[in-house]
Structures are given as C-alpha cells and as structure tokens.
Chains A and B, each alone.
Chain A
Amino acid sequence: MKSATELPDAEKSHENWVPIMELAAREVFEMMLGCQLVAPEIAVDGTFDATSMVGLAGKLCGVLSFSCGGKSATLIASKMLGVEAAPGSREVLDALGEICNMVAGNFKNKIDGLGEGCVLSVPTVITGNNYSLHSLADSAALEVRLLFENMPIVISLRTHS
C-alpha cells in the first residue's frame, strides 16, 4: 500500500518531467521578461559562469539549478527591471535567484501532488566557473537546454529518492 506522500510510479522515473521543466521555464521568461525561449536546432554549449539553485524538500528532494553566461545574466536582470542592469551587480544576482525560484515553483505546481507537499529553499547564486557541483542526489540529472536571445541556458533537476 502506498503512503499518501508517495509519488505515482510513473513519475518516479522523472523522465516525463523534462517537458514540464521546459514549459515552466518558457512561461517564466514569457510572463516576467516578455521574451520567448527557443529550443536549439543543434547541440549548443557555452560558458556558464552564473548559476542559481533552489533546493526542494518534502515529497520531492533535490535541487533545481539555472545556469547561463554572464552576458545572459545581465540581460535577464535588465529585462526584469526594465532598465539596464550593471554586470555582476546585486540586481543581477537577485534576478537569477528569482528566475530559478519561479521556474522551480512553477514546475512543482504543475506536477500532481508536489504543489502541496514540496517546499522550496531560498535561492543560492554562484558566479564564476571554477567550481564543481557535487549533489547528494542519487538519480541522473534531468536537463533542459534552451536559447535565451540566442545565448544558451541550462535548467537542471537533480533528485534524491
């Protein structure tokens, strides 16, 4: 017998969450920045020197991260503020944290059973690219790569069973 806090088996693989993560990100950028994210036609790579992370706890444990380049980070903050943001400023860090927070919140609210039983942490923002992220999550990361104003962004979800 399953407990009320267990997620359905079909959702434990989490693979079917990738399009939901993408939709959650697209909605955030469309509603809050007024711009469309685009799926790249070919594999894209880039330097991701700004990463924001939000922890999830409860029915789903893990971390959702949002990574982009410094130029993208500044442009995201500028679009959110409606005025030009200074590269590396507190506004840029704040904007990245909020983007990750909204994508994580929008994502969990789209999954049956997660809206009620999963809480989000305060966002953390890391700048620079000389670091390695080691998560204690025990499942493979789900990843969505999209283009924001022709610059790559990555949304990643690492979960713990």
Chain B
Amino acid sequence: MSIRALIVDDSSVMRKIVERSLRQAGIDLTQVLEAGNGAEALGVLKDNSVDLILCDINMPVMDGLEFIKRLPGMANAKDVPVIMITTEGSESHVIQALSCGARGYIRKPFTPDQVREQVVPVLAGKP
C-alpha cells in the first residue's frame, strides 16, 4: 500500500528524519507533504488529501493538539489518522493527545522500528 503523508514539525531537520524513518520502517510513500506548524498544516490540507499525519506537539503559531482538535472540521481530513511525535513523553501528554483524537504517540528520540509499531496498525485500521 502506497500512502501520502503530511509531516508537521517546526524543525525541517526533524521532518526529514521522520520521512526517512517512515521509509526505513517499510512504509511506501507516494508523496510527503510538510508543514512547520498546525496553521500551515491546515492550509496544506485545504488543497491536498493525505492518508496519514505525523505531528509534533510543541510548535509556534499553532501547536499539535490545537491542530488535531480542528481536523474534524475539515471535510477531506476529518478521518485521517494522526500520530504525535514529540519529546513530551509523560503519561498525561499521551492521554491528552489521544483524547484530542491522536491515534498513536511516538517519543523522540525514536527508531524506525518504533515508528513501524505505531504506524502499521493505524494504516491497517486497527484501534
């Protein structure tokens, strides 16, 4: 299965690492779109459809939690699974992210195996 992914992180280096990790995890990427914060990501989603969103939490302008709260209001993105990738690894952050609609949670630093463990079940439609 080949997918289109949107990677949202204020660090361009981290966006590249996430893309590389997805490829190393065996995820077949047709296209990778990037955004530097939640507001930019909403703009990208106005004109593009994606199959998966990987999103940082702490970002300027609009953080990751605010971004995923707004996704249900977007016709072409309301059902797109979101996986958070962040340095904030506490249990309360995980619970908060999942309650906002995230489907998975990856702590930085991470390995491609950890990315695979989170992404593959989500793409397969498993809870």
Contacts and interface: CB of A to CB of B under 8 A. Distances in A.
Contacts, number: 61
Given A106-B87, A116-B91, A116-B92, A31 B13 contact: no
Nearest to A76: B13
Interface in B90-113: 90-92, 107-111
B90 A109 contact: yes
A27 B16 contact: no
A80 B13 contact: yes
B14 interface: yes
A82 interface: yes
B13 A102 contact: no
Contact of A80 (B17, B60, B89, B90): B17
Interface string B59-85: 010000000000000000000000000
Nearest to B9: A98
Contacts of B16: 80-82
Nearest to B60: A122
Contacts of A98: 11, 13-14
A116 B86 CA distance: 14
A115 B20 CA distance: 28
Given A27-B109, A82-B20, A109-B107, A120 B87 contact: yes
Interface in A76-127: 77, 80-82, 90-91, 94-95, 97-98, 101-102, 104-106, 109, 115-116, 120, 122
A106 B86 CA distance: 10
Contacts of A102: 87, 108-109
A98 to B, nearest CB: 5
A106 B109 contact: yes
B13 A91 contact: yes
B109 A101 contact: no
Given A80-B13, A122-B60, 10 more contacts: A27-B109, A32-B109, A81-B13, A82-B20, A91-B12, A98-B11, A102-B87, A104-B87, A115-B91, A116-B90
Closest 8 CB pairs of A and B: A105-B87, A115-B90, A31-B109, A109-B89, A116-B90, A94-B13, A28-B109, A95-B13
